Amino acid sequence: MIPTELRERLQRHGQDHLLAVYEKLTQPERANLLRELAMIDVAELQALHARREQKDALPERARIQPLPRPTIEEADCDDFFGRGEDAYYEGEMAFLIVAGGQGTRLGFDEPKGMFPIGPISKKSLFQLHAEKVLALTRRTGMRYPLLVMTSPATDEPTRKFFKRKNYFRLPPQDVWFFCQGTMPAVDLHAGRLLLEGPGRLCLSPNGHGGTITGLAESGILDQLEGRDVQTIYYFQVDNPLVNLADYLFVGRHLAQEAQVSSKVLPKTGPKEKVGNFLLLDGRCSMIEYSDLPDDWAHETDEQGQLKFWAGNPAIHLFDVEFLRELTTQADRMPWHLARKKVPHLDEAGHLVKPETENALKFERFIFDVLPQAERWTVLSTSREDEFAPVKNKEGVDSPESARAMMIAQHTRLLREAGIEVTEGIPVELSPLYAMDVEDIEETYKGDRRITRSTYLNEPMEFRKRTKW
Ligand code: UTP
């Protein structure tokens, strides 16, 4: 029997179709359905569904100011740099990859982090990120927790992949996985919970905003405090260009006692498909490209430059104590609604694969924590240096465009180090070989001219298995 309280709750909130479904299930299927329903707030779902025709509420224009273009006084640069360097050399950093997304657009069967992105090496996104952390460890002698946020669909394959690959030679005890929460999908018209199989609801990851509760519920915030980690370096699994060794970014964040800091990217046009940084009531905030009204998007200043110029590459620093404070009020983070095609069982129990959008999914976004911060900093970066998202199968923001950007960046670094690279020749630097021009100058012993496809891997003496 379905417990009376649950039965009444389902009836009250438009989910009584599940009562009929329940009757037809086997015992284990029933147990599963009850377990999943116990974690769901059906009243909240009903209220969210009622908002389906509304766009996310837009604040009045008068409350909004463009984000000032960040500048750093020359005189402060050295101080900030030194402060950041100290944080790395004292092991006060942890790195956080968000890798719980479904990667629908890429259409890769495995978790996106397993995608072979290296232009020559074919190494995976996970390997690339892990090697950046290992390179930092080799440089500073310090160990850094690498936090990997997964979701129910990516958790097991991700853990197995890291294990199979020997944690890319990071200390296994420093790679901390945690699984984000889920939210159910509901039918677009009636708001009814959908089933993906007998006794199984259609559940999907609760958005990268799920990081906050995920970190707290997994106990990772406590562990970080136990290791005296003050700053979390947050980035997305699908950005192979992310620079994890940014002393200036970290140093300024710390020097100004910021709770959150973000990299910002000058937009390529008014309607570019990236989130828009701006000030809301004086605080750093973000509006998604789809929510930015056309007339705002085209506003320009006296110099004719876009007022809403600052795009979001999703690279942030979070103060651990600030995250702790946030977790006490994480339930206040808003839910964003998205219309999706969600395969599900119909009333007769047959699988339906919809051709048009039939369902609502709900996600929290990490950037909704920005306005909670009283103290924050932003630092400008460029696509060439730090942002090559792998989103689509082909074309814009695809593996092909990301690989081309990796090759271009590595060519640039080699040339800056005085090595000639023939135009059009692919080159790739392992992070374990070099992270910047100085590393190349120190390590590069080869011919001063590179004329054929070249992968510069870590020096032989380091390649043996690292023991921790
Ligand atoms: P996207 O929003 O681009 O989603 O995630 P996605 O899953 O990679 O791709 P699509 O939209 O299904 O095609 C940006 C980053 O946030 C992570 C993703 O793994 C990616 O690193 N993410 C997204 C999560 O960790 N959890 C989520 O619930 C959503």
Which of 108, 126, 208, 212 has most ligand 1 atoms within 8 Å of its beta carbon, as the pocket-test mutant? 208
Site residues for ligand 1, CB cut-off 6 Å: 98-105, 112, 149, 151, 180, 205-208, 210, 236-238, 363, 391
**What does the block give as tokens for 405?**
């950007």
- pLDDT at site 461: 75
- pLDDT at site 462: 76
Q: Is residue 434 part of a domain?
A: no
Ligand 1: atom nearest CA of 97 is 21
Distance 112 CA to ligand 1 centre (A): 9
Cβ pair 67, 278 in contact under 8 A: yes
- Specify the DSSP element, H or E, that contains 18: helix 17-23
| Residue 362 CB coordination number (10 Å) | 21
Distance 85 CA to ligand 1 centre (A): 30
Distance 15 CA to ligand 1 centre (A): 29
Sign of CA dihedral 405, 125, 138, 221: positive
Residue having the nearest C-alpha atom to atom 5 of ligand 1 = 101
Cβ pair 370, 286 in contact under 8 A: yes
Ligand 1: atom nearest CA of 102 is 7
If you compute the radius of gyration of the chain from its CA atoms, what whole number of angstroms results?
Answer: 24
Residue having the nearest C-alpha atom to atom 8 of ligand 1 = 103
> Mean pLDDT across the chain, nearest whole number?
95
Rounded Cα distance between 264 and 11, Å, is 47
Sign of CA dihedral 341, 41, 150, 137: positive
The answer on pLDDT for 258 being more than 60 is: yes
Burial (CB < 10 A; 0-12, 13-18, 19+), residue 233, is buried
- pLDDT at site 348: 87
pTM across the whole model: 0.95
Q: Is residue 131 part of a domain?
A: yes
Q: Is residue 408 part of a domain?
A: no
The CATH number of residue 241's host domain is 3.90.550.10
Average of per-residue pLDDT across 80-104: 97
Distance 328 CA to ligand 1 centre (A): 25
**What does the block give as tokens for 344?**
């599900």
287-345: pLDDT as tens digits: 999 899 999 999 999 999 999 999 999 999 999 999 999 988 767 789 999 999 999 99
Distance 104 CA to ligand 1 centre (A): 9
- pLDDT at site 44: 94
Distance 198 CA to ligand 1 centre (A): 27
Q: How many domains does the chain have?
A: 1
Local confidence band at 111 (pLDDT 50, 70, 90 cut-offs):
very high
Q: Is residue 347 part of a domain?
A: yes
Q: Per DSSP, which regions of 61-179 are E strands? A: 64-66, 93-98, 146-150, 175-179
User: Considering only CA atoms, which of 9, 15, 12, 10 is closest in space to residue 193?
Assistant: 15
Residue having the nearest C-alpha atom to atom 2 of ligand 1 = 101
Residue ranges making up the domain that contains 208: 60-390
Pairing assessment for the beta strands 336-340 and 359-363 based on DSSP bridges: antiparallel
Average of per-residue pLDDT across 158-170: 97
Q: Is residue 437 part of a domain?
A: no
Cβ-defined contacts of 388-391 (< 8 Å, 24+)? 388/239, 388/240, 388/241, 389/236, 389/238, 389/239, 389/313, 390/106, 390/112, 390/115, 390/117, 390/125, 390/238, 390/239, 390/240, 391/105, 391/106, 391/238
Ligand 1: atom nearest CA of 106 is 13
Distance 333 CA to ligand 1 centre (A): 18
Distance 388 CA to ligand 1 centre (A): 15
Ligand 1: atom nearest CA of 205 is 28
Amino acid letter for position 235: F
Cβ pair 343, 196 in contact under 8 A: yes
Q: Is residue 418 part of a domain?
A: no
- pLDDT at site 54: 80
Ligand 1: atom nearest CA of 363 is 28
Local confidence band at 48 (pLDDT 50, 70, 90 cut-offs):
very high
398-448: pLDDT as tens digits: 999 999 999 999 999 999 999 999 999 999 999 999 999 999 999 999 899
Which of 95, 97, 102 has most ligand 1 atoms within 8 Å of its beta carbon, as the pocket-test mutant? 102
Q: What is the secondary structure of 322-391 as a DSSP string?
A: HHHHHHTTGGGSPPEEEEE---EE-TTS-EE--SS--EEEEE--GGGGGGG-SSEEEEE--HHHH-----
